[in-house]
Amino acid sequence: MSILYAVLLFVVAQRLVELVIAKRNTAALIADGGIEHGAAHYPLIVLLHLCWIASLAYFIPADQPAVWSLLGVFAVLQGLRVWVLVTLGRRWTTRVIEIPGEPPVATGLYRWVRHPNYLIVAGEILMLPLAFGAWEIAVIFSVLNGMVLWHRIRVENVALDNMAGTINE
């Protein structure tokens, strides 16, 4: 198996496991009174990630050599991703869920950055294609991801402000 396909298999398996965790956590949060924000844009996020992975598999030749330093950066991002998931625990989901009465998380990477997971995802979307010489895919999907995240972060900020007691009007 080529290194490209091994990495893509890892990414697909990771995303599938995360979707299972997210579905379980979302159901529990909603059952506990959580309020979802921005559900309408969620399919765009899923589509963006599916197209990104598919484009990597389709457009990059299987025998394309890897730039190991960039794969190393990608590996560091995976460690940061795990840190985010562990920090949020049961509150981690792929949806935006406001939890009335609970303050926003302010530990782990959230001590320094309000949306570390989005920075990590932006780094992944940029680094993985670059690690295999596909700068075009890196640019296209980074721009598309930036557009989706621009909206997503605005939605999430409203939910976080509501939880912090600084309701936006």
CATH at 89: 1.20.120.1630
Q: Does residue 10 belong to any structural domain of this protein?
A: yes
Question: In total, how many domains does the chain have?
Answer: 1
Q: Does residue 24 belong to any structural domain of this protein?
A: yes
Q: Do 85 and 109 meet the contact criterion of CB atoms below 8 Å apart?
A: no
**Cα–Cα distance, 26 to 93 (Å, whole number):** 6
pLDDT at position 167: 47
| Mean pLDDT to the nearest integer, 97-113 | 93
In this prediction, residue 166 has a pLDDT band, given cuts at 50, 70 and 90, of: low
**Cα–Cα distance, 69 to 71 (Å, whole number):** 5
In this prediction, residue 169 has a pLDDT band, given cuts at 50, 70 and 90, of: very low
Range(s) of the domain holding residue 16: 3-164
Residue indicated by tokens 């909603």: 30
Residue 103: count other Cβ atoms within 10 Å of its Cβ.
10
Q: Does residue 169 belong to any structural domain of this protein?
A: no
Q: Do 84 and 120 meet the contact criterion of CB atoms below 8 Å apart?
A: yes
Q: Does residue 18 belong to any structural domain of this protein?
A: yes
| Mean pLDDT to the nearest integer, 32-47 | 95
